[in-house]
Amino acid sequence: MKKVIILMLAASIIYLSPLSAKAGAIMFPQCKLTQHGNEARLLFTLHNPSEQSWRFLQWKTPFDAWFSEFVHITHQGVQIPYEGALMKRGEPDKEDYLTLNAGDNIQVELELTQAFKLNNGEYTVEISPILLTPLAESKLKNSTLELTCPKIQINL
Amino acid sequence: MSTKKALSAIAVATALLSGSALADGINATLEMSQQDYKNSDNVVVKVTLTNEEHVPVKLLKWYTAADGVEESLFKVTANGEKRQYLGAHYKRQAPTKDDYIKLKSGESISYDVELSSLYDMSSTAEYEISYDVSSLQLFSPNPGQAKKLARLGIEGIHSQPTSFYLEGRELKQGTNKGKPGGGDGGGEIDGVTFTGRCSNSQKTDILAGLDAAKEMSADANQHLNGNNSNSLRYSTWFGDYNSSRWNTVSNNFSKIDSALNNESLTIDCSCKKKYFAYVYPTQPYKIYMCGAFWSAPTTGTDSKGGTIIHEMSHFNVVAGTDDIVYGQSGAKSLAVSNPAQAIQNADSHEYFAENTPNLN
């Protein structure tokens, strides 16, 4: 498990580099999907290089597998139907939010075959944008960041 | 009626007598607060285990209710006929020392166990229960006493039986009449199959919720058939009037209504999450009820009836709705900002059906 985290940190440097180059700029959280070999398994990474801590509602994010439809998969332009569950929830409370601390990296694995019927071939995988709000006492207060993860192509 | 009274009298006598059963060290007793139960009552028995040895005894937790019921702990009969245990059996590794609880000499532990979710209690009968566990590993093996403890473990722990009268639900004519429920749940009532250990009170709640849902869907249909393009009720939840969207909503509700009245539903009670309920849209017509469902009112906003409407709307063969936004305020905003999405949103259908406050 530790190994995976170290590897991901190494990988995160690569996708962060364009932003790090802008000296003095506020860096926002970033997210990334990576495929495990040629399996239908993805690693979702949320990285926060900024000095600002953020929080987000877990619902409809990779931390909510599979109780909402947050992954969208297409094969040759055709949508693969979602076969996971949909949960009725009411209003969120404190426990429904996750905190992304300054400098933190949080990850979760997604086993796509738990919610989609997939055969061999090439698929495009996209996840719904994640809405992050800064934790209190911030100059960014009252702003919401809509974080869109780059979609990825996977080969099975 | 006279039979029932006679049976109850026996139940009282038995309950008074249900004292100590010798189990070579651990004594088990059962206590029940009632001798008569209605079909909406949960059937709770208090199990007390007492160490009557002069030395401490370590008892395998799996055969107590220390962490909830994880094995069949009781022998249950209805009018003398054995009733199957419907609860979980866990496949496990060999027990470790953490799986044992220690009872000092003379020490007792007590647990309340709800029985109607664990055994089929759908039929009207005189039920008799006794604590009845045995396992080679029931007692933690002390050095030098392993053989003796294994033997005692196989002899097991047994209480005197206690009995009670339960007035079961009238089962509908036809399928499964009078038969015990299959698998893990507790039978079929009014065309509804229960799985996942639904207790008597949960079954009662579900049936009341279903009645409410049927009334709501009939009322929603009636409103939509009125074709009132000025409907405040419609525009509040689905946005500006447009005949194509109105027809979609109308079609959705007629399918919801038809499914509620004509399809066999399965309701599962095993979900321990704090939310209301969930479904797999590709797997009609099974609804999994979770924590918030049980405390919801029968009608009104986020009610049991409305939750069932919401869940039915998700099934792809019904209306194939999604959860685009959550909650009343979200649904109202969506109606204003994006009516095309509002007509695909499950909560919007639920709030339209609940119609609270009344916007007719």
Position B174 pLDDT exceeds 60: no
Position A16 pLDDT exceeds 50: no
Q: State residue B172's pLDDT score.
A: 39
Q: Among A32-36, B28-32, B190-194, B321-325, which stretch is predicted with the lowest mean pLDDT?
A: B190-194
Specify if A36 maps to a domain: no
Specify if A46 maps to a domain: yes
Q: State residue A67's pLDDT score.
A: 96
Position B260 pLDDT exceeds 80: yes
Average pLDDT over residues A1-30: 45
Residues ≥6 apart with Cβ < 8 Å to B133: B63, B71, B73, B156, B157
Q: What is the dihedral of CA B135, B136, B141, B147, to 10 degrees?
A: 140
Position A31 pLDDT exceeds 80: yes
Return d(Cα B325, Cα B106) in angstroms, integer: 58
Position B153 pLDDT exceeds 90: no
DSSP annotation of A76: T
Average pLDDT over residues A33-45: 94
Q: Do A86 and B314 touch (CB under 8 A)?
A: yes
* CB neighbourhood size of A1 (10 A): 4
Q: ipTM of this model? A: 0.81
Q: State residue B149's pLDDT score.
A: 84
Q: Do A91 and B326 touch (CB under 8 A)?
A: yes
- If you average pLDDT over every residue of chain A, what do you get? 83
In the block, tokens 């926002």 appear at A28
A50 pLDDT band, cuts 50/70/90, is confident
B contact test, residue of A87, A95, A96 with most B CBs within 10 A:
A87
CB crowding B5-41: b at 16 or more within 10 Å, else e: eebbeebeebbeebeebebebbbbbbebeebebebbb
Average pLDDT over residues A68-95: 94
User: How many Cα neighbours within 13 Å face the side chain of B224?
Assistant: 28
Percent of chain A, pLDDT > 70?
79
Cβ–Cβ < 8 Å for B86, B118: yes
Taking only the tens place, the pLDDT of each residue in B267-278 is: 999 999 999 999
Q: What is the dihedral of CA B312, B318, B324, B326, to 10 degrees?
A: -20
B20 pLDDT band, cuts 50/70/90, is very low
- If you average pLDDT over every residue of chain B, what do you get? 86
Q: Do B346 and A81 touch (CB under 8 A)?
A: no
Residue B122: both structure tokens together: 């759908």
- Measured in degrees and rounded to the nearest 5, phi and psi for residue B116 equal -70, -15
Q: State residue B241's pLDDT score.
A: 95
User: Taking phi first (over 0 means left), then psi (-120 to 50 degrees means alpha), and beta for anything else, what does residue B355 get?
Assistant: left
Q: State residue A22's pLDDT score.
A: 46
Specify if A66 maps to a domain: yes
The closest CB to that of B280, out of A59, A68, A83, belongs to A83
Provide DSSP, B272-327: -SSSSEEE-TTSTTEEEE-HHHHHS-SSSTT-HHHHHHHHHHHSTTTT--B--S-S
Taking only the tens place, the pLDDT of each residue in A119-152 is: 999 999 999 999 999 886 666 666 788 999 999 9
The closest CB to that of A90, out of B276, B278, B311, belongs to B276
Percent of chain B, pLDDT > 70?
88
Position B11 pLDDT exceeds 90: no
Q: State residue B294's pLDDT score.
A: 97
- Confirm whether B31 is a catalytic residue: no
Residue B55: both structure tokens together: 């030395």
C-alpha of B79 from chain center: 24
Provide DSSP, B82-110: E--B-S-----PPP-GGGEEEE-TT-EEE
In 3D space, the residue among A15, A119, A106 whose CA is nearest the CA of residue A62 turns out to be: A106
Average pLDDT over residues B74-85: 90
Average pLDDT over residues B34-46: 91
B248 pLDDT band, cuts 50/70/90, is very high
Position B176 pLDDT exceeds 80: no
Q: State residue A25's pLDDT score.
A: 56
Specify if A21 maps to a domain: no
Specify if A28 maps to a domain: no
Q: State residue B207's pLDDT score.
A: 95
Q: State residue A139's pLDDT score.
A: 64
CA distance A70 to chain B (A): 10
Specify if A13 maps to a domain: no
Coil/strand/helix, residue A27 = coil
Provide DSSP, B31-46: EES-SEE-TTS--EEE
Q: State residue A43's pLDDT score.
A: 96
B360 pLDDT band, cuts 50/70/90, is confident
Interface of B with A (CB under 8 A): 273, 275-282, 288, 290, 292, 302, 307, 310-311, 314, 316, 322-323, 326-327, 346-347, 350
Q: Among A62-66, B23-27, B355-359, which stretch is predicted with the lowest mean pLDDT?
A: B23-27
**Active-site residue, from B126, B128, B188, B311:** B311
Average pLDDT over residues B279-300: 96
Residue B199: both structure tokens together: 């207790």
Chain B residues with beta carbon closer than 8 angstroms to that of A88:
275-278, 307, 310-311, 323, 346-347, 350
Residues in chain A: 156
Q: Looking at residue A85, which CATH number applies to its domain?
A: 2.60.40.2970
Range of the domain at A86: 3-7+41-114+122-155
C-alpha of B342 from chain center: 32
Q: Among A137-151, B171-185, B318-332, which stretch is predicted with the lowest mean pLDDT?
A: B171-185
Residues ≥6 apart with Cβ < 8 Å to B358: none
Taking only the tens place, the pLDDT of each residue in B120-145 is: 888 889 999 999 998 888 888 777 78
Position A4 pLDDT exceeds 50: no
Chain A residues with beta carbon closer than 8 angstroms to that of B275:
87-90
Residue A133: both structure tokens together: 């709000």
Taking only the tens place, the pLDDT of each residue in B96-110 is: 888 999 999 899 999
Q: State residue A39's pLDDT score.
A: 92
Provide DSSP, B47-66: EEEEE-SSS-EEEEGGGTTB
Specify if A53 maps to a domain: yes
Specify if A95 maps to a domain: yes
In 3D space, the residue among B275, B269, B324 whose CA is nearest the CA of residue A89 turns out to be: B275
CA distance A110 to chain B (A): 18
CA distance A153 to chain B (A): 25
Return d(Cα B297, Cα B42) in angstroms, integer: 19
Provide the domain count of chain A. 1
B188 pLDDT band, cuts 50/70/90, is confident
Which DSSP helix (H) or strand (E) runs through B218?
helix B200-225
Interface of A with B (CB under 8 A): 59-60, 67-69, 81-92
Taking only the tens place, the pLDDT of each residue in B285-295 is: 999 999 999 99
Average pLDDT over residues B339-350: 97
